[in-house]
Amino acid sequence: MVKIFGIRHHGPGSANSLKNALSNWKPDCILVEAPEEVNQIFKLFSLSGVTLPVACLLYAKNDPSKAAYLPFTVFSPEYQAIVYSQQFQVPIYAIDLPMAFQFAEEKSIMAFNQSSSTNDWELDPLGKMAELAGYQDYERWWEVHFEEEEGSIAIFETIANMMMVLRPHDLKEVNGMNIWREAWMRKQIRKAVKEGHKKIAVVCGAWHVPRLLDYDTIKEKEDNAIIKGRSKEACAACLIPWSYEQLTPSQGYASGVHAPFWYESLYFHPKQAVVRWLVKAARLLRKKNLDASSAEVVEAVALANALAGLRSLKIPGLKELEDAALTVLCQGKRAQLDAIYNNLLTNNRVGKIPPEAPQIPIQKDFLKNVKSLRLSSAIKNDQVHRKDLDLRKPHQLQISIFLHRLLLLEIDWGRKLMGKTLAQGSFNERWSLKWHPRILIQIIQSGRWGKTIIEALLEKVKQKIDSAKNPIQLAKMLDNVIKADLKELVQPILRKMQQTGVGQRDTESQMQILNELIPLRRYGDVRNVDQNILDWLIRDLITRICLGIKPFVFQLNEEQSEHFFSAIHVTNHLMGFLEDPEHQVRWINALQGVLEQKESAPKIRGGVLRILQDKGTISLERAKTYFALELSRTEELENIALWLEGFLYGSAGMLLYQPSLLGLLDNWISALDQSRFMEVLPIMRRTFSKYSRNEKQRLLRKVIAQTVEDLEEVEWDEKRLKAVLPSIQSWFS
Amino acid sequence: MKKVIRPHAEEKYKTELEALKKIDVGEKPIGWELSPKSVVDYIIGTELPDGTKIEAKYIGQRRAIEIAVATLATDRALLLLGVPGTAKTWLAENLAAAISGHSSLLVQGTAGLGEEALRYNWNYARLIAEGPTEKALVPSPVMIGMQKGKMVRVEELTRIPSDIQDVLITILSEKVLSIPELNWEIAAVPGFNIIATANDRDRGVNELSSALRRRFNTLIMPLPEKLEEEVKIVSSKIESNPIPFKAAAEHDTLKEIERLVTIFRELRNGITEDGTLKVKTPSGTLSAAEAISAVNSGLTMSHFFGDGRLSAKYLIDSIEGAVVQDRIQDQLIWNEYLETVVKERAEWRDLYEAALKKT
């Protein structure tokens, strides 16, 4: 006897009913709608140390970019079928069309959705029926309609009958894949019958029920004809950890469930789920230091019930719960609910797989690397791990190389932190490592480029270089490539940069590229970096930048200027590392050109004057003239502020140690008349507020000392001086 | 019946309420005139099986109204929170009219409001003559609502001084109002609840104490999300205006309303509708309510001084009146908007010229 149990994938109601139906009916064989390759991994579910949710990953052996995954969690009816088979020693078979057939059809990555259709009715017929009955939360519809039914087996008969109505025999099937899959499944059912099983339970998506019931009316020959002549691609399966977050449709899984944690509550506590969910919400809010008392939970439950009544539902669903939580617990503030929302939907649950489970080559290579670098503790949980690396120590250098390689492979396990305390280019690095099951999939999918991390990396970067069109992109890649110890790739990148036309870019992009290139010269002693190409590129860029910078600043708007201002400073700083004096002269001349460009942004002009002043390439007299001109009485105050901001950019150190600089400023201020001084004062205050307290005090002392010196040359009226001196002294002491 | 400028909701929509009551089969909470579902229908608008058309009182999310009605059916009070002109008062009035059959139990919150406005007052002549008796008592709207089991509205709750606000705590949690002078207390009968409104734009208001806040479910009233929605709100309000503008409205008034709403939205949101240009925001609120009154004043002026059509000339006057609240700052913002946005739109040429003529 064959019984077909139409279920809803990841439906807690379905899962509970199936569990009861199986233990009532006691089948001697279970067939599950899952690609045939899943048969290899059923036994892994019984390993101790498997924590749900997990997923079965199916991938083409020769091209892991073709991959599909089937998640299983406690409220997946398929998982309950597996549990039953293991508990009662009943054979279980995956009867869906082998993935090998589908991979032969597909060209790239796809997510396996238990149905390749986009039609709502095919994807989720029971959900669609609930929707028609006015239930947005399908599971509540199940609860209301099926929970009270007599006996759990009867539920599945009702579902089968409903599906017969939805899929009558004369319905024209449009989805070819479904026809093939159902033919294959019918073949497997006949096979099981032939093998002599007496009570066969078939667990499949409700939509398939009517067509699978046809197994004894359609002839084997007809089904064979449907399958015949299709090609296969070798396919492998493995079990990987999964997470509730990845179970949601927002993560690209079309059969996903919106709120896995809500479903979990429905599975374990169907009668108490409403209260439990709202209590959980209140507790999460409290963790965020927001008030949410038990009394409010009581009132939230009351509101959820009232809303359900208003919407003609017998019991509240997720939407009512959300409305109640938002209105009562969060005082209507969406931001509060958003703060806990993800946690509330997923409970941050993450699955685990014990190390004994079989692994694919690149995954093994990854784990081997992790182990030899002694990073294993960082992949045990999803906590953030900090790593401070001292690159002078060989072991830590190896870790850095490995993490840079993962970055290039776009495996987002490690994130490099830029700290103010860590000077760029020094031998320290700080990393933050955060593990997530998603990373494992990224690793497995990198297997398309090679069997080990390094093999995959070389192939991937080569492809990236070939397809790159933008020299900025290439320049940015260079640094990481060198840090990932892939010196053999440096030359191809430099050559490609030449080809992609560095010259056609605007001045700012050229400066960005230059800023990436100059630091690379410090690796110059490393044999494989071709100094000649690098120097040629640098010289070429500097020539172009110096020619283009004057007309370029003219066309910038305020925001772009701000950006360009920082770029000028970085370039200027890096220029200092180049030995060739010719570069310096070019650069200084170009900056002097910018100074003359009156239509450019005041902040840039101020900054440039300062740079030239620092370099000592402008005479004090000229600097004074610029000062007077830029800060003249007719100039708008806002422009003066910006100009000063540019001029005084950075630390106060230069002002302290360069008397000429301070003198310039001092001269200007002393020359102001009283009313103008009052106008300028707030601007000066704003500019100086960027300096540290210590710097400001030292500046003050310096100015006072200077003033006292000047005062000594003045003839004083002793009597009057004595009258005011004590109070002046008290101000400065 | 005497004609009034603005009849109460229960008068204005009397036929709708009666029609709804006739067909209402849903379960009614004790003390309610209609079932919660019918209340939602009354607010959102629908067509009844007998052909009666229920006008939409609130254009926006059904979800928000459902939460409001469901709240009133539980024993928490309702607080409608939002910037001025988001139909808080209007919604409160219509909810009270639909649930209790009348909307006149109202306390207007002001900074000078005393405790007696929320509790009870005395008829002092009687108090002196007879001493404290039940007859000398002058009940507040809240007290009447408790005795009769009706909805009571409290407008501008946050303007009421904090210590006076807290009078509501016992009333809402214990549902009693004690009268120590008579050694007596009023216990509320089912059907009583409070609908409060408050405005979260003004500063210097009296925030609710957390004890009081948790007696209320807060519903934040949003500004209309889409342009079409706002145009619909403004034009439906114009059409239901009692002053006879029907003839004028036939002309392409709708087009003009759309322009006006666009201007208000752009100035309010600080960005043009196509999202390409930043605009400075003036000090006024510029909500849908302001748009309605601007259109009304434009129509009125046109009716009395012009040809009855809402032409650019009258439109620009009323827009400027609403936008320029602060003579200096707002005027600058408005001029800049005229030059950068209005001038650039070819089909808005007439508006720009009308504005130029003014100056």
Q: What is the CATH number of domain B9-220?
A: 3.40.50.300
Q: Half-sphere exposure of A495 toward its Cβ, with a 13 Å CA cutoff? A: 10
> What average pLDDT does range A697-706 have in this prediction?
80
Provide CB contacts within 8 A for B23, sequence distance 6+.
B48, B49, B50
Confidence of residue B142 (pLDDT cuts 50, 70, 90): very high
- Residue B66 to residue A295, Cβ atoms within 8 A: no
A-B Cβ pairs (cutoff 8 Å, strict): 59
Can you give the pLDDT at residue A115? Answer: 43
From A304's Cα to the closest Cα of chain B, the distance in A is: 8
- Assess whether A127 and A9 both reside in one domain: yes
- Residue A295 to residue B214, Cβ atoms within 8 A: yes
Position A583, amino acid: H
Provide CB contacts within 8 A for A24, sequence distance 6+.
A151, A152, A153
Can you give the pLDDT at residue A122? Answer: 66
More confident residue, A285 or A417: A285
End-to-end distance of chain B based on CA atoms, in angstroms? 48
Mapping DSSP onto H, E and C, the string for A490-542 reads HHHHHHHHHHCCHHHCCHHHHHHHHHHHHHHHHHCCCCCCCHHHHHHHHHHHH
Show me where the domains of chain B are located. 9-220, 227-358
Residue A481, H or E segment: helix A471-483
* Cα gap B147→A527, rounded to integer Å: 94
Of A246-250, A687-691, B75-79, the least confident: A246-250
- Residue A310 to residue B73, Cβ atoms within 8 A: yes
From A262's Cα to the closest Cα of chain B, the distance in A is: 21
- Assess whether A309 and A417 both reside in one domain: no
- Residue A307 to residue B75, Cβ atoms within 8 A: no
**Both tokens assigned to A496:** 């490609």
> What average pLDDT does range A21-39 have in this prediction?
89
β-pairing, B137-139 vs B77-82, is: unpaired
More confident residue, B237 or B11: B11
Instruction: Tell me which chain B residues have a C-beta less than 8 angstroms from the C-beta of A312.
Output: 37
Can you give the pLDDT at residue A255? Answer: 67
- Residue B67 to residue A307, Cβ atoms within 8 A: yes
> What average pLDDT does range A60-78 have in this prediction?
81
* Cα gap A148→A18, rounded to integer Å: 15
**Both tokens assigned to B322:** 């609403």
End-to-end distance of chain A based on CA atoms, in angstroms? 103
Judged by a CB distance cut-off of 8 A, whether residue B206 touches chain A is no
For the complex shown, is ipTM > 0.85?
no
Instruction: Tell me which chain B residues have a C-beta less than 8 angstroms from the C-beta of A295.
Output: 214
- Measured N-to-C along each axis, helices A260-268 and A273-287 cross at an angle, to the nearest 10 degrees, of 130
From B200's Cα to the closest Cα of chain A, the distance in A is: 12
Mapping DSSP onto H, E and C, the string for chain B reads CCCCCCCCHHHHCHHHHHHHHHHCCCCCCCCCCCCHHHHHHHHHCEECCCCCEECCCCCCCHHHHHHHHHHHHCCCEEEEEECCCCCHHHHHHHHHHHHHCCCCCEEECCCCCCHHHCCEEECHHHHHHHCCCCCCEEECHHHHHHHHCCEEEEECHHHCCHHHHCHHHHHHHCCEEEEHHHCEEEECCCCCEEEEEEECCCCCCCCCCHHHHCCEEEEECCCCCCHHHHHHHHHHHHHCCCCCCHHHHHCCHHHHHHHHHHHHHHHHHCECCCCCCECCCCCCCCCHHHHHHHHHHHHHHHHHHCCCCCCHHHHHHHHHHHHCCCCCHHHHHHHHHHHHHHCCCHHHHHHHHHHHHHC
pLDDT-above-90 percentage for chain B: 22
Q: What is the pLDDT of residues A233-242, one digit of tens each?
A: 888 888 888 8
> What average pLDDT does range A151-163 have in this prediction?
79
- Assess whether A714 and A624 both reside in one domain: yes
Q: Is residue A276 part of a domain?
A: yes
Question: Whose CA is closest to B288, among B232, B331, B241, B341?
Answer: B232
Question: Whose CA is closest to A122, among A130, A111, A133, A114?
Answer: A114
> What average pLDDT does range A272-300 have in this prediction?
87
Can you give the pLDDT at residue A151? Answer: 56
**Both tokens assigned to A35:** 């690609």
- Assess whether A150 and A121 both reside in one domain: yes
Q: Are A54 and A242 in contact (CB under 8 A)?
A: yes
- Assess whether A84 and A8 both reside in one domain: yes
Judged by a CB distance cut-off of 8 A, whether residue A311 touches chain B is yes
Structural domain containing residue A644: 601-733
- Residue A296 to residue B70, Cβ atoms within 8 A: no
DSSP classification of residue A97: P
Q: Is the pLDDT of residue A396 over 80?
A: yes
Can you give the pLDDT at residue A525? Answer: 45
Out of A303, A333, A334, closest to residue B71 by CB:
A303
Out of A307, A312, A331, closest to residue B70 by CB:
A307
Can you give the pLDDT at residue B244? Answer: 52
Instruction: Tell me which chain B residues have a C-beta less than 8 angstroms from the C-beta of A307.
Output: 66-67, 70
- Assess whether A370 and A329 both reside in one domain: no
Residue A386, H or E segment: strand A384-390
Can you give the pLDDT at residue B192? Answer: 93
Q: Is the pLDDT of residue A222 over 50?
A: yes
- Residue A323 to residue B36, Cβ atoms within 8 A: no
Question: Whose CA is closest to A516, among A495, A530, A497?
Answer: A497
* Length of chain A in terms of residues written: 733
Can you give the pLDDT at residue A526? Answer: 41
* Cα gap A206→B92, rounded to integer Å: 47
Q: What is the pLDDT of residues A191-200, one digit of tens each?
A: 888 888 889 9
- Assess whether A180 and A317 both reside in one domain: no
Confidence of residue B150 (pLDDT cuts 50, 70, 90): very high
**Both tokens assigned to A457:** 């990396």
Q: Are B98 and B39 in contact (CB under 8 A)?
A: yes
Confidence of residue A640 (pLDDT cuts 50, 70, 90): confident
Q: What is the dihedral of CA A292, A297, A298, A300, to 10 degrees?
A: 110
- Top-confidence range, A125-134, A522-531, B45-54: B45-54
Q: What is the mean pLDDT of chain A?
A: 79
Q: Is residue A230 part of a domain?
A: no
Residue A155, H or E segment: helix A152-166
Instruction: Tell me which chain B residues have a C-beta less than 8 angstroms from the C-beta of A296.
Output: 214
Confidence of residue A528 (pLDDT cuts 50, 70, 90): very low
* Cα gap B103→B10, rounded to integer Å: 7
> What average pLDDT does range A428-435 have in this prediction?
82
Final residue in a domain of this structure, among A197, A218, A239: A218
Q: Backbone phi, then psi, for A395, in 5-degree steps?
A: -60, -45
- Residue B76 to residue A303, Cβ atoms within 8 A: yes
Q: What is the pLDDT of residues B248-292, one digit of tens each?
A: 455 567 778 888 888 888 888 888 877 777 778 888 778 888 888
Confidence of residue A420 (pLDDT cuts 50, 70, 90): very low
**Both tokens assigned to A55:** 């997923």
Q: Is the pLDDT of residue A531 over 80?
A: no
* Exposure b/e, A470-479, CB count within 10 A at least 16 = b: ebbebbebbe
From A310's Cα to the closest Cα of chain B, the distance in A is: 5
Q: What is the pLDDT of residues A95-135, one digit of tens each?
A: 888 888 877 776 544 444 444 445 566 667 777 777 777 77
Can you give the pLDDT at residue A523? Answer: 59
Count of structural domains, chain A: 4
Confidence of residue A397 (pLDDT cuts 50, 70, 90): confident
**Both tokens assigned to A429:** 């690095």
How wide is the angle at C-alpha A217 spanned by C-alphas A211 and A223, nearest 5°? 65
More confident residue, A251 or A247: A247
Instruction: Tell me which chain A residues have a C-beta less than 8 angstroms from the C-beta of B73.
Output: 306, 309-310
Confidence of residue A2 (pLDDT cuts 50, 70, 90): confident
Q: Is the pLDDT of residue A676 over 60?
A: yes
Q: What is the pLDDT of residues A555-595, one digit of tens each?
A: 777 778 878 888 888 888 888 777 778 888 888 888 888 88
| Global pTM value | 0.64
Provide CB contacts within 8 A for B242, sequence distance 6+.
B5
Can you give the pLDDT at residue B69? Answer: 92
Nearest CA in chain A to B64: A323
- Assess whether A277 and A416 both reside in one domain: no
Q: What is the pLDDT of residues A653-675, one digit of tens each?
A: 767 777 777 777 777 787 777 87
Q: Are A534 and A574 in contact (CB under 8 A)?
A: no
Judged by a CB distance cut-off of 8 A, whether residue B73 touches chain A is yes
pLDDT-above-70 percentage for chain A: 88
Q: Are B65 and A310 in contact (CB under 8 A)?
A: no
- Assess whether A335 and A435 both reside in one domain: no
- Measured N-to-C along each axis, helices A294-310 and B36-44 cross at an angle, to the nearest 10 degrees, of 70
Out of B73, B213, B214, closest to residue A306 by CB:
B73
Position A48, amino acid: S
pLDDT-above-90 percentage for chain A: 2
